[in-house]
Amino acid sequence: MIVRSIHLGFEVPDTDASMATLYYAADEGALDAARLTGLVAADRSRSPWPLVIVLPGINVTPDSYRWLAIRLVRAGYCVATYANIGSLGPAGRGITPGVDMAALGPDIIASHCSATALGPLLDAIADLDEPVQGLIDFDRVAIGGHSAGGTVALHNTDPSWVSGLACAFSFGGHTMTSMSLGHGEASVMAVPSKVPILLLAGADDGVIAASRDRYRNDDQAHDPVRRTFDEAIRRNQNDSWLVEIADGNHFTICDPIDETSGRSFLEAELRSTDRLARDTLASVLTAFLGEHCQEPSEQDRVEDLVNATTISRWARR
């Protein structure tokens, strides 16, 4: 088995353009047949594959998540990364995960889907022909994202909003909501949490620390990821986790980092090339996905991994 990808465009309302890359398990023995097209037939041995959709952070290029997509395909998944080009408010236009900001207002938040890209992307993937046609299990879908993409995933943890949703994850995302949207100071908004949730974070997140002015004017401790786990996830079925990576920062999920875009300059030291931290993230995520999207097996479970020295803090509910 080798990992290959196909590229597709899809339409999202109120955006300039949307493009996705779908990574899949390909048949290494079919390379000769693909010599003129580059379109390699799928390796069907582990199909149908659960689908994982990775929602991007603001102005983070999808290539930053390719390493993770490859890891997950090798673990038995089909993985989509994407970018929408749309409004960033005062920051102009750029890459977004696709979010209906009006749906995050204090009077209607958590009442309906706010992820504008997920439905169109799922439809576009379902319409694909070879090499993936008929090989994706749309009843086993996981959504997760980085930073703002993680926040959008958390706010849409309801299978009635995202068809086939089995679980969700976030790295560097939280649901403390900006005062500019009409919310009170340091307010953490509850999420549907109708599926298991994995909250991943870096212990030294410079972007979250530098962004506190959006959420509060006081001098209290600022730990929105932990507060999201404690206050926003109202699910007590022993299947949701908070896992903090000891040497992680806001961009540990990215490799490579595009330092020409986004806010990576807010990190005092970029350690996303730290293989150990990145491997810890991928191992925990793969274990979590395996518990909720795969058949029971002998693979690691999250509870088997959280006491590693590379993890500084964890909680379960």
- Within-domain flag for 51: yes
Please state the domain count of the chain: 1
> What does the pLDDT read at residue 77?
98
CA distances from 297 to 119, 196, 291, 300, 301 (A): 31, 19, 9, 9, 10
> What does the pLDDT read at residue 178?
66
> Structural domain of residue 263, as residue ranges?
44-316
58: tokens are 């603001």
- Within-domain flag for 26: no
CA distances from 237 to 59, 83, 196, 266, 292 (A): 35, 33, 8, 36, 13
Q: Is 14 helix (H, G, I), strand (E, B) or coil?
A: coil
> What does the pLDDT read at residue 91?
82
Amino acid code (one letter) for 217: N
Amino acid code (one letter) for 223: D
> What does the pLDDT read at residue 272?
45
> What does the pLDDT read at residue 284?
98
Domain containing residue 139: CATH number:
3.40.50.1820
- Within-domain flag for 3: no
Q: Which residues of 274-309 are buried (b: 16+ CB within 10 A; e: fewer)?
A: beebbebbbbbbbbbbbbbbbeeeeeeebeebbeee
> What does the pLDDT read at residue 221?
66
> What does the pLDDT read at residue 179?
58
- Residue-wise pLDDT tens for the chain (317 aa)? 999 999 999 999 989 999 999 999 999 999 999 999 999 999 999 999 999 999 999 999 999 999 999 999 999 999 999 999 998 888 889 999 999 877 777 766 777 899 999 999 999 999 999 999 999 999 999 999 999 999 999 999 999 999 999 999 999 999 987 656 665 666 788 899 999 999 999 998 868 767 655 665 667 666 889 999 999 999 999 999 999 999 899 999 999 988 888 777 777 666 445 889 999 999 999 999 999 999 877 677 999 999 999 999 999 99
- Within-domain flag for 33: no
Cross-strand bridge partners of residue 85? 17, 95
